[in-house]
């Protein structure tokens, strides 16, 4: 992902609300599956890490990205933004070159 593409995705994510929250139980297989399905449907998602979660948001982002085969767009404070390119027939976001 180029710097220009990352900046474009960050600008899209600014107006988004988090659709998942990672709490005390941290990453469960069910949460990983749900995040993967959301990435399939939306391509770009925002996740909020709650205060009662003991894990570091940056480490969580890396774990989630690895498990869902997505890319980390950014981690700011307790917010994680992930992107996974959709299949050709289902693409929603066209990245700049």
pTM value surpassing 0.85 = yes
Indicate the domain borders of the chain: 3-86
Cα–Cα distances in angstroms (integers) from residue 51 to residues 13, 16, 30, 48, in the given order: 21, 20, 20, 10
Rounded mean pLDDT of the chain? 89
Question: At 53, is the pLDDT very low, low, confident or very high (cuts 50, 70, 90)?
Answer: confident
**Conformational region of residue 91, where left means phi above 0, alpha means psi within -120 to 50, and beta covers everything else:** beta
Question: Tens of pLDDT along 20-35?
Answer: 999 888 888 899 999 9
Q: For domain 3-86, give the CATH number.
A: 3.30.110.60
Indicate if the pLDDT at residue 89 is higher than 70: no
Q: What pLDDT was estimated at residue 33?
A: 93
Q: What pLDDT was estimated at residue 28?
A: 86
């Amino acid at each position: 992902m180029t710097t220009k593409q990352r900046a474009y995705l960050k600008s899209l994510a600014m107006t988004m609300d988090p659709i998942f929250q990672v709490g005390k139980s941290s990453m469960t297989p069910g949460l990983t599956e749900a995040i993967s399905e959301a990435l399939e449907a939306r391509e770009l998602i925002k996740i909020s890490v709650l205060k009662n979660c003991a894990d570091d948001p940056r480490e969580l982002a890396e774990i989630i990205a690895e498990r869902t085969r997505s890319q980390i767009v950014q981690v700011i404070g307790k917010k994680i933004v992930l992107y996974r390119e959709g299949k050709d027939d289902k693409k929603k976001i066209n990245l700049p070159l």
